[in-house]
Amino acid sequence: MATLITPALVCALRPHGEHGAIARLLTPGHGLLAGYVRGGRSRRLRPVLLPGNAVKAEFRARTEEQLAGLTVELEHSRAPLLAEPLPAAAIDWACALTAVALPEATPYPALHQALDGVLGAVEAAPAARGWATALIRYELLLLAELGFGLDLGRCAATGGNDDLAYVSPRSAAAVSRAGAVGYEDRLLPLPAFLLEGGAGEWPAILDGLRLTGFFLERSVLTDWRVDVLAARERLVDRLKRAVA
């Protein structure tokens, strides 16, 4: 019987059988892994298997094809955040996106580190503006890791790298203000913080969410996976109401 013991982040949980559950966890060295948790819907384990929690996971399976049995120990709980509408929406979306977008058992160490960073930012920041840019960068990284990265290094129209202000929805490449003349309404705004680093103001944050949302919906969240966009819509709606 193969056994894997690893730290992991809980991304999703669904009922299985009368009392059990199938959990999907993001691990640093083995990517997204699923396992059956006996009694996963019990009073003892429900608080452990919340999206966003950090756990120590032990997977056991007789063969690679078999769904592993999974036991978990809580290492860090983010349960208190789930009582707050904005942090709860951010955690729900980031974890749901990860659970449906990534292929299983494919290592994405950079995504594990980045998701842990986003969850930590949601936990630590006193307001949403402190973590919203980290979430947008996580979405960009996920797109890149899956082969759908945006080319923000130079203008698709002029070849230069100055005054980049838009992204072409067709080519996913940056466009400068000069190269965009006459086509601005066909392009997506490119927030400066994605090029310069640091935090962004709310109009730029909302532009960033629109940008990443367009490419996630077009390239990643297709077919049945489009259902998870409801979690993103809830998050964006709450952010807009918070800053209105």
Q: What is the mean pLDDT of the chain?
A: 95
Q: Is the pLDDT of residue 193 over 60?
A: yes
Residue 98 pLDDT:
98
Region 49-69: mean pLDDT is 92
pLDDT tens by residue, 72-99? 999 999 999 999 999 999 999 999 999 9
Domains in the chain, ordered, with CATH?
2-77 (2.40.50.140), 83-152+190-243 (no CATH)
Quick one: which of 122, 137, 142, 120 has its CA closest to 32?
142
Per-residue pLDDT band at 152 (split at 50, 70, 90): very high
Q: C-alpha angle with apex 142: 174 to 10, nearest 5 degrees?
A: 155
Are 91 and 58 in contact, with CB atoms under 8 Å apart?
no
Q: Check the CA dihedral 40-45-47-50 and report its sign.
A: negative
How buried is residue 80: exposed, middle or buried, by Cβ count under 10 Å (0-12/13-18/19+)?
Answer: exposed
Residue 199 pLDDT:
84
How much of the chain exceeds pLDDT 70, in percent? 100
Within the chain, residue ranges assigned H as helices are 85-101, 109-124, 129-145, 177-180, 193-196, 202-219, 229-243
Quick one: which of 18, 69, 11 has its CA closest to 41?
18
Sheet holding 188-189, edge to edge: 174-176, 164-167, 188-189
Greatest mean pLDDT among 59-63, 125-129, 191-195: 191-195
Q: Is the pLDDT of residue 143 over 90?
A: yes
According to DSSP, the β-strands at 2-16 and 54-61 are antiparallel
Residue 216 pLDDT:
97
Residue 158 pLDDT:
93
Residue 202 pLDDT:
95
Region 145-163: mean pLDDT is 95
228-243 in b/e form (b: 16+ CB < 10 A) is bbebbebbeebbeeee
Residue 66 pLDDT:
84
CA distance linking residue 60 with residue 237, whole number of Å: 41
Place of tokens 């669904």: 14
pTM: 0.95
Per-residue pLDDT band at 242 (split at 50, 70, 90): confident
Tokens coding 108: 């994405």
Quick one: which of 188, 199, 95, 92 has its CA closest to 142?
95
Lowest mean pLDDT among 155-164, 209-218, 224-233: 224-233
pLDDT tens by residue, 4-31? 999 999 999 999 988 899 999 999 999 9
